[in-house]
Amino acid sequence: MSGASDGGAHEPSGLVPPCALAALWAVRHGQSTANVAFAAAAVSGSDAPVPGRDRDVPLSERGAVQAHALGDWLAAQAPEAGPDLVVCSPYTRALQTWEAMAARAAGLGGPQLEVLVDERLRDREMGVFELHPPAALRARAPQEAARRELLGEWCYRPPGGEAFTDVAVRVGQFVHDLGRAAPGRRVLVVAHDGVVIALRHVLAGIGAIAPEDLPPVPNASVSHWNGDGHRLRLAAWGDTAHLASLNEMEGTTHA
């Protein structure tokens, strides 16, 4: 997906809390080794968890290349219109994405930006199912899998973990604090798909419908909101135009 698509959802029509940011971009980290493992598990049917902690999962080789492409995107932004502040998730894959972006952009004459790390931008916590592929729930806890299906993904909270509703609460507080602390700034957030989805829900305002049917947030995609000093309006969702040459090259390789 690329361009100024908004995923088919309606723009907010009222009851939107004020936000004084001039612009907001939200980048999902590049492909991670867990993304690769989960894709392989979906083919093999394996329910074996990825070892280690979720916050320590690094980028895959492809993810590192995607992060370089994001650096090209960053370097191409006009200095007076592109990001002037970065806030990053504390998770390794997000930090590695930003570090590769920054190094690539600097090498191309791009901006050197102030960077902050905020714990509220961490990925959705999956509790006892941390780093378990989706098949694990069906194989190891069929009753829990049935509960997940009954509640829906937006409201399902794994034991010891978070529902997307919980993610939206902490992301909403982050947006509130950011708008007060950085009025007029153009902010780039580097985080996770759940955080990007929560941002969209929060910025849609009070009474927004739960975003259960949104298009996916691809790895290394950029979503963008424009600000007018009072509110942020969605301009692009899950944009991957900057990855086009990478995808074309891989398609040629696999042909």
24-60, pLDDT tens digit by residue? 999 999 999 999 999 999 999 899 999 999 999 999 9
pLDDT recorded at residue 13: 54
Residue range 76-121, pLDDT digits in tens: 999 899 999 999 999 999 999 999 999 999 999 998 999 999 999 9
Q: Strand, helix or coil at 198?
A: helix
Per-residue burial over 129-151, b if 16 or more Cβ lie within 10 Å, else e, is bbbbbebbbeeebeebbeebeee
pLDDT band at residue 253 under the 50/70/90 scheme: very low
| Fold of the 23-254 domain | Rossmann fold (3.40.50)
Confidence check: pLDDT of 11 > 90: no
Quick count: other Cβ atoms within 10 Å of Cβ 64? 15
pLDDT confidence tier of residue 248, bands split at 50, 70 and 90: low
Burial class, 21, CB count within 10 angstroms (exposed 0-12 / middle 13-18 / buried 19+): buried
Can you state the percent helix, strand and coil of the chain, rounding each to 5? 45, 15, 40
Provide the 3-class DSSP secondary structure of residue 197.
Answer: helix
Task: Give, for 94, the enclosing helix (H) or strand (E).
Answer: helix 92-107
pLDDT at residue 254, as a whole number: 46
Of 138 and 215, more confident: 138
How do residues 144-162 score in pLDDT, each as one tens digit?
999 999 999 999 999 999 9
**Residue 9 DSSP code:** P
What band does 4 get if pLDDT is binned at 50, 70 and 90? Answer: very low
Listed in sequence order, the DSSP H helices in 109-152 are 134-140, 142-151
Q: Are 196 and 1 in contact (CB under 8 A)?
A: no
Question: What band does 255 get if pLDDT is binned at 50, 70 and 90?
Answer: very low
pTM of the predicted model, to two decimals? 0.91
Q: For residues 188 and 215, which has the higher predicted lDDT (pLDDT)?
A: 188
Question: Which pLDDT score, from 0 to 100, does residue 215 have?
Answer: 79
Over residues 170-177, the mean pLDDT reads 97
CB atoms near residue 180 (< 10 Å)? 11
User: Looking at this protein, which amino acid is placed at residue 167?
Assistant: V
Ramachandran assignment for 124, one of left (phi > 0), alpha (psi -120 to 50 degrees), beta (any other): beta
For the chain, the average pLDDT equals 91
